[in-house]
RNA sequence: GCGAAAGUGGCGGAAUUGGUAGACGCGCAAGACUCAGAAUCUUGUGUCCGCAAGGAUGUGGGGGUUCGAGUCCCCCCUUUCGCACCA
């Protein structure tokens, strides 16, 4: 038993703040350009200053911080900055609730969160902090907007857009979620409104966004983005409408199809009710019905209209078109199952090959013409068939292409269309342009002035920022609050000087977060959004970490933004972030999503007070697979606390010098001690290898468990009398350095105890010795017919013959052989012998 | 409906290329120390049979490949997530 006179007890409160202050004073985490070292730029998605740091913030930031610290010990020059995504709706909502100005609310929260972030013990370089609602920041957000505008990547158009009636603003398509098409923020179902809004041409980059070459992003995110972008290859085919009278000209209706091989089976056409040609082609006799249908369609919500289980409805326009391949006269209908927002808002209907068209044709008695011979099946009869047959196959009744197998030779079909001038190859995307106008107050003003003569004019660089006025009634009315300001709108046209008006919408806050990683490079730089020298040294971001919920929003926007800026000559490189990783979600102890209303929220501040930062850091890394998350378990944290207490208690209590114990001092146990020392050294090096591997691969839980295992081994070694040996000292030197990224305070305190001087955090990562890690003995598993029957301790270099001999010599093996002759003996070097009978 | 991921003890989770399933921790049980508790320490802990030795069984279910499968292949079930009349 250890003596009770010197209470050597771990009290995190006594050391953590002390070290945080000292590191800050020393500028330990200041990251500056240093061409002699390789840069490592690590970014975690910036937090929104909602008021209190919650456990989710810790979960996102701490393992990222630990990994950044590890990279630093590996010799990289690491920059790990932090900032605040400070514009946005919650500030306005909270401001309304508590009657404080959004700015005041936001900055008070930021101040509070800065304090909380400091208790986390992260290696943030605070000199690089950015705050997106600061005019120094949004000046450049506006500058980027004007650049995109000048490059024709920002444009204004009137279109039906998604409107959240609760947030009183438009939303981007990406911010409308789920079956009921609700607002991503407040869950209210959105409605459509026809509005004049600003868009970015994200669709220009659709194809490039589908390529993930050169970046290491999780499969999951790539799939989400790929599906979101929704590329389909096919053809545009043009149908001519039949002229109504001799004096009239025919119109062209363009359709997109992925199945040009079924063109001969197109027996009717369907236009979306909003299609611009509908009014023109509708005949007098059908007009009443058509208008009634359109009115009904308009009245319906998107949800109702787009419900897939609804029976299809439609109305004949009275007009006909000519199938450009077959020459057939086909009726033109309108139906709401055709969406104006996809393709050209018109389709060629092939009821034999498309289930939707089939149902529609059956309901309204339209012709069905089978043009694909299904492989290995009888030709469906158009009168009796009960479902469309969508597979490709050999084309029939298809003029010159009859006999072509479209499952193999689609190219021939497309070539034919092009040759005959019927259609042309085309690619269609689901992705839409990014709607960035918001009718809210707390955002970056869109830097545009509307002049009666010059039109929409971007505010010149030297007049930026267009500052957000503070004396505004920011209560949402459905109109942009800036519109209601008495004077702010009026401004001379930057081009001709006559009286003009400012744009009063603000930008989607995803615009702010599309480039914040560039502002960290040089937050005070005023000759551009970032200092090119800093950019050249640090970019691209080496690892980017954050939640996966942004896969189709922020993570698409920021990639678009980077590529657009590249093409505008603002920066270089194709991608902003090389490696992306997503943490999972911590649920409440009841396995439900944490929320105030459920009362299952875990408060980090209270945990820090009780256990200290290091314990929470270690627990967050240990308690679940980081990329997966898990329900919180408040008992589990005791285990990590116990571990750190045991580290503290085992650590020698005075500086380490030369070895004071050569391992032979203990009488009669010299041999045992020697093997213990070898085993200790081996375990230390093996742990080193696995810890390093796990840091590289974001496998944080096994880092902590390896360190726990090693500590257990060290406790056993102490009992064997190794204290004071060079192996023991090396174990501590390694242990504290391996611990430092995870539990930086205790590692520093103990390091200073043993090796007073430079911080543990400027030490280099221990050097691995393969020789030291090598096993001398292995457990040879003996199997009979694949079942484990016995185990033997043997030398690691045992050869095949010896191993087989040893196996057959085993009594237990013999018992299970039961006198039978081995038919085959399998030997896996270093692992097992399997005797097969 | 389409796409993706995941199913391992009471719980979180380990397990390079197919080669000792359940590391590490929580929880639980017994014990030590203590007047008692807390803390700490020791031991045990997948399931079933057995006093034990030992044996059987076991990674969502079923089949297959293999000397050998948590891992590879096929089918099915469940859960989570994303998209959804996308032409």
Residues 752-771 of A with CB under 7 A from strand B: none
Task: Specify which residues A795 forms β-bridges with.
Answer: A777
E strand or H helix at A629, and its extent?
A: none
CA atom of A215 to C1′ atom of B72, Å: 29
User: Strand, coil or helix: what is A481?
Assistant: helix
> What are the distances in angstroms from CA A419 to CA A412, A425, A644?
10, 11, 76
Q: Considering chain A, what is the average pLDDT of its residues?
A: 91
Contact call for residues A320 and A332 (beta carbons, < 8 A): yes
Alpha helix ranges (H) inside A755-820:
770-773, 800-809, 811-817
Quote the pLDDT of residue A1.
Answer: 31
**Secondary structure of A562-626 as H, E, C letters:** HHHHHHCCCCCCCCCEEEEEECCCCECCCCCCCCCCCCCCCCHHHHHHHHCHHHHHHHHHHCCCC
Quote the pLDDT of residue A189.
Answer: 84
CA atom of A826 to C1′ atom of B65, Å: 18
Quote the pLDDT of residue A650.
Answer: 93
Q: Is the model's pLDDT at A5 over the cut of 60?
A: no
Rg (CA), chain A: 35
Q: Is the model's pLDDT at A720 over the cut of 90?
A: no
Q: What is the pTM of this model?
A: 0.93
Q: Across residues A699-712, what is the average pLDDT?
A: 96
Quote the pLDDT of residue A6.
Answer: 43
Task: Give the nucleotide at minimum CA-to-C1' distance from A791.
Answer: B20
Which residue is closest to B68 in terms of CA–C1' distance?
Answer: A786
Read off the tokens for A462: 């030297």
CA atom of A27 to C1′ atom of B37, Å: 47
Contact call for residues A585 and A56 (beta carbons, < 8 A): yes
Residues 31-90 of A with CB under 7 A from strand B: none
- Cβ of A687 < 7 Å from strand B? no
pLDDT for A467-481, tens place per residue?
Answer: 999 999 888 787 899
Quote the pLDDT of residue A311.
Answer: 84
- Cβ of A211 < 7 Å from strand B? no
- Cβ of A789 < 7 Å from strand B? yes
CA atom of A650 to C1′ atom of B16, Å: 32
If one counts every other C-beta atom within 10 angstroms of the C-beta of residue A496, the result is: 12
Task: Give the nucleotide at minimum CA-to-C1' distance from A719.
Answer: B41
Between CA A339 and CA A275 the distance in angstroms is 9
Q: Across residues A283-297, what is the average pLDDT?
A: 92
pLDDT for A65-75, tens place per residue?
Answer: 999 999 999 99
Residue of A628, A640, A657, A617 whose CA lies nearest to A741? A617
Q: Across residues A544-561, what is the average pLDDT?
A: 94
Q: How confident is the model at residue A591 (pLDDT cuts 50, 70, 90)?
A: confident
Read off the tokens for A800: 């095949």
Task: Give the nucleotide at minimum CA-to-C1' distance from A345.
Answer: B87
Residues 795-824 of A with CB under 7 A from strand B: 812, 824
Question: Edge-to-edge strands of the sheet including A191-200?
Answer: A169-171, A154-164, A191-200, A434-435
- Cβ of A225 < 7 Å from strand B? no
Task: Encode burial over A581-602: b for 16+ CB neighbours within 10 A, e otherwise.
Answer: bbbebbbbeeeeebeeeeebeb
User: Strand, coil or helix: what is A762?
Assistant: helix
CA atom of A254 to C1′ atom of B82, Å: 31
Q: Is the model's pLDDT at A158 over the cut of 50?
A: yes
Q: Across residues A478-485, what is the average pLDDT?
A: 89
Alpha-carbon torsion (A700, A703, A709, A714), positive or negative: negative
pLDDT for A723-772, tens place per residue?
Answer: 889 999 999 999 999 999 999 999 999 999 999 999 999 999 999 999 99
Measured N-to-C along each axis, helices A726-739 and A670-696 cross at an angle, to the nearest 10 degrees, of 20
**Secondary structure of A378-422 as H, E, C letters:** CCCCCCCCCCCCCCCCEECCCHHHCCCECCCCHHHHHHHHHHHCC
CA atom of A127 to C1′ atom of B81, Å: 38
pLDDT for A101-126, tens place per residue?
Answer: 999 999 999 999 999 999 999 999 99
Which residue is closest to B25 in terms of CA–C1' distance?
Answer: A639
> What are the distances in angstroms from CA A283 to CA A238, A315, A329, A683?
21, 12, 16, 86
If one counts every other C-beta atom within 10 angstroms of the C-beta of residue A20, the result is: 18
Between CA A739 and CA A648 the distance in angstroms is 12
Q: Is the model's pLDDT at A2 over the cut of 50?
A: no
Between CA A230 and CA A173 the distance in angstroms is 14
Residue for token pair 């950019």 = A535
Residue for token pair 């292995």 = A778
Q: How confident is the model at residue A792 (pLDDT cuts 50, 70, 90)?
A: confident
A39-44 and A77-79 beta bridge pairing? parallel
Quote the pLDDT of residue A510.
Answer: 95
Q: Across residues A48-52, what is the average pLDDT?
A: 91
Tell me, what's the ipTM? Answer: 0.95
Q: How confident is the model at residue A670 (pLDDT cuts 50, 70, 90)?
A: low
Residues 154-193 of A with CB under 7 A from strand B: 177-179
- Cβ of A377 < 7 Å from strand B? no
Between CA A492 and CA A495 the distance in angstroms is 8
* Ramachandran angles phi, psi of A712, nearest 5°: -60, -40
A131: DSSP letter: E
Task: Give the nucleotide at minimum CA-to-C1' distance from A226.
Answer: B3
Q: How confident is the model at residue A544 (pLDDT cuts 50, 70, 90)?
A: very high
State the Cα angle at A306 between A301 and A310, rounded to 5°: 105
Residues 90-149 of A with CB under 7 A from strand B: none
CA atom of A702 to C1′ atom of B22, Å: 15
Q: Is the model's pLDDT at A96 over the cut of 80?
A: yes
Nucleotides in chain B near protein beta carbons (<7 Å): 3-5, 11-15, 19-21, 23-27, 39-42, 55-56, 67-69, 82-87
Q: Is the model's pLDDT at A34 over the cut of 90?
A: yes
Between CA A389 and CA A393 the distance in angstroms is 10
Residues 537-556 of A with CB under 7 A from strand B: 552
CA atom of A552 to C1′ atom of B81, Å: 13
CA atom of A381 to C1′ atom of B70, Å: 50
E strand or H helix at A40, and its extent?
A: strand A39-44
Contact call for residues A567 and A561 (beta carbons, < 8 A): no
- Report the percent of chain A where pLDDT is more than 90: 70
Which residue is closest to B14 in terms of CA–C1' distance?
Answer: A702
CA atom of A789 to C1′ atom of B65, Å: 24
pLDDT for A361-399, tens place per residue?
Answer: 999 999 999 999 987 778 889 889 988 988 889 999 999
Between CA A270 and CA A351 the distance in angstroms is 12
Task: Give the nucleotide at minimum CA-to-C1' distance from A826.
Answer: B67
Q: How confident is the model at residue A357 (pLDDT cuts 50, 70, 90)?
A: very high
Q: Is the model's pLDDT at A665 over the cut of 80?
A: no
Contact call for residues A550 and A203 (beta carbons, < 8 A): no
pLDDT for A672-693, tens place per residue?
Answer: 678 889 999 999 999 999 999 9
Task: Give the nucleotide at minimum CA-to-C1' distance from A1.
Answer: B41
Quote the pLDDT of residue A658.
Answer: 74
Task: Specify which residues A164 forms β-bridges with.
Answer: A169
CA atom of A647 to C1′ atom of B74, Å: 51
Q: How confident is the model at residue A288 (pLDDT cuts 50, 70, 90)?
A: very high
Task: Give the nucleotide at minimum CA-to-C1' distance from A779.
Answer: B20
- Cβ of A361 < 7 Å from strand B? no
- Cβ of A224 < 7 Å from strand B? yes
Residue for token pair 């990251």 = A31
CA atom of A71 to C1′ atom of B65, Å: 43
- Cβ of A230 < 7 Å from strand B? yes
User: Strand, coil or helix: what is A541?
Assistant: strand
Residue A51 vs residue A692, higher pLDDT = A692
Residue of A828, A830, A829, A832 whose CA lies nearest to A810? A832
Which residue is closest to B55 in terms of CA–C1' distance?
Answer: A789
Residue A146 vs residue A184, higher pLDDT = A146
Asked if residue A465 has a cis previous peptide bond (ω within 30° of 0), the answer is yes
Quote the pLDDT of residue A664.
Answer: 62
DSSP A300-350: S-HHHHH-TTSPP-EEEEEEEEE-TTT--EEEEEEETTS-TTSTTSEEEE-
CA atom of A829 to C1′ atom of B57, Å: 29
CA atom of A224 to C1′ atom of B11, Å: 31
Residues 263-322 of A with CB under 7 A from strand B: 272, 305-308, 310, 312
Question: Edge-to-edge strands of the sheet including A490-492?
Answer: A455-458, A448-451, A499-502, A490-492
Q: How confident is the model at residue A671 (pLDDT cuts 50, 70, 90)?
A: low
Task: Give the nucleotide at minimum CA-to-C1' distance from A635.
Answer: B26
Residues 422-481 of A with CB under 7 A from strand B: 428, 430
CA atom of A642 to C1′ atom of B41, Å: 13
CA atom of A747 to C1′ atom of B30, Å: 36
- Cβ of A228 < 7 Å from strand B? yes
CA atom of A812 to C1′ atom of B53, Å: 14
- Cβ of A635 < 7 Å from strand B? yes
């Amino acid at each position: 038993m250890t003596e009770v006179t010197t209470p050597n007890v771990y009290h995190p409160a006594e050391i953590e703040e002390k070290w945080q202050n000292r590191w800050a004073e020393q500028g330990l985490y200041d990251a500056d350009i240093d061409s002699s070292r390789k840069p490592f730029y690590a970014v975690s998605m910036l937090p929104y200053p909602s008021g209190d740091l919650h456990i989710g913030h810790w979960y996102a930031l701490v393992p990222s911080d630990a990994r950044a610290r590890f990279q630093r010990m590996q010799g990289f020059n690491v920059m790990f900055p932090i900032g605040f995504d400070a514009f946005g709706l919650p500030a306005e909502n909270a401001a309304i609730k508590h009657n404080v100005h959004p700015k005041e609310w936001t900055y008070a929260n930021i101040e509070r969160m800065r304090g909380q972030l400091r208790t986390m013990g992260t290696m943030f370089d605070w000199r690089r902090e950015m705050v997106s609602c600061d005019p120094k920041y949004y000046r450049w957000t506006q500058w980027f907007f004007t650049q995109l505008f000048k490059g024709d990547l920002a444009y204004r158009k009137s279109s039906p857009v998604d409107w959240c009636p609760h947030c009183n603003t438009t939303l981007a398509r990406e911010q409308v979620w789920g079956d009921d098409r609700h607002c991503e923020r407040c869950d209210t179902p959105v409605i459509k409104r026809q509005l004049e809004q600003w868009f970015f041409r994200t669709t220009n980059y659709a194809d490039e966004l589908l390529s993930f070459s050169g970046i290491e992003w999780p499969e999951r995110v790539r799939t989400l983005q790929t599906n979101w972008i929704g590329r389909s290859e096919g053809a545009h085919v043009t149908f001519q409408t039949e002229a109504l009278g001799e004096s009239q000209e025919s119109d062209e209706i363009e359709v997109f199809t992925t199945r040009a091989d079924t063109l001969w089976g197109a027996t009717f056409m369907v236009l979306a009710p909003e299609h611009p040609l509908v009014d023109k082609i509708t005949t007098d006799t059908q007009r009443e019905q058509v208008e009634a249908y359109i009115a009904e369609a308009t009245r319906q919500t998107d949800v109702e209209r787009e419900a897939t289980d609804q029976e299809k409805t439609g109305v004949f326009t009275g007009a006909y078109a000519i199938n450009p391949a077959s020459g057939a006269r086909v009726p033109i209908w309108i139906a709401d199952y055709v969406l104006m927002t996809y393709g050209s808002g018109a389709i060629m209907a092939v009821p034999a090959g498309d289930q939707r068209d089939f149902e529609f044709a059956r309901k309204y008695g339209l012709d069905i013409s089978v043009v694909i011979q299904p492989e290995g099946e009888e030709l469906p009869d158009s009168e009796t068939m009960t479902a469309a047959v969508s597979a490709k196959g050999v084309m029939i009744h298809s003029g010159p292409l009859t006999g072509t197998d479209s499952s193999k030779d689609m190219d021939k079909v497309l070539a034919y269309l092009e040759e005959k001038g019927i259609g042309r190859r085309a690619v269609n995307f689901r992705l839409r342009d990014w709607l960035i106008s918001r009718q809210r107050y707390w955002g970056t003003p869109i830097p545009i002035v509307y002049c009666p003569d010059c039109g929409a004019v971007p505010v010149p660089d030297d007049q930026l920022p267009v500052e957000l006025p503070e004396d505004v009634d920011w209560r949402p009315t459905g109109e942009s609050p800036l519109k209601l300001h008495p004077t702010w709108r009026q401004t001379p046209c930057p081009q001709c000087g006559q009286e003009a008006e400012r744009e009063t919408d603000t930008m989607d806050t995803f615009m702010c977060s599309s480039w914040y990683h560039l502002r960290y490079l040089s937050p005070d730089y005023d000759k551009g959004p970032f200092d090119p020298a800093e950019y050249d040294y640090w970019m691209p971001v080496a690892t980017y970490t954050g939640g996966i919920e942004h896969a189709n929003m922020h993570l698409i926007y920021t990639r678009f933004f980077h590529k657009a800026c590249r093409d505008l000559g603002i920066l270089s490189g194709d991608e902003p972030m090389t490696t992306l990783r997503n943490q999972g979600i911590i649920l409440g102890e009841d396995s439900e999503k944490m929320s105030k209303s459920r009362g299952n929220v875990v408060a980090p501040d209270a945990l820090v007070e009780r256990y200290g930062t290091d314990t929470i850091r270690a627990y967050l890394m240990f308690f679940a697979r980081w990329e997966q998350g898990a329900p919180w378990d408040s008992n589990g944290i005791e285990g990590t606390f116990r571990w750190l207490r045991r580290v503290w208690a085992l650590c020698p209590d005075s500086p380490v010098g030369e070895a004071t114990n050569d391992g032979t001092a203990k009488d009669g146990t010299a041999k045992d001690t020697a093997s213990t020392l070898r085993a200790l050294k081996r375990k230390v090096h093996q742990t080193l290898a696995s810890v390093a591997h796990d840091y590289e691969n974001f496998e944080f839980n096994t880092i902590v468990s390896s360190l726990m295992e090693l500590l257990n081994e060290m406790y056993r070694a102490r009992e064997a009398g190794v204290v004071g040996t060079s192996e023991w000292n090396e174990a501590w030197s390694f242990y504290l350095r391996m611990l430092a990224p995870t539990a930086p305070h205790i590692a520093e305190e103990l390091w200073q105890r043993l090796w007073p001087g430079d911080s543990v955090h400027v030490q280099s990562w221990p050097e691995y010795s393969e020789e030291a890690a090598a096993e001398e003995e292995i457990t040879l598993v003996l199997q009979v017919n694949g079942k484990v029957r016995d185990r033997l301790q043997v030398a690691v270099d045992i050869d095949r013959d010896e191993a087989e001999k040893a196996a057959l010599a085993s009594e237990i093996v013999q018992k299970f052989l039961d006198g039978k002759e081995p038919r085959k003996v399998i030997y896996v070097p270093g692992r097992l012998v399997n005797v097969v009978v």
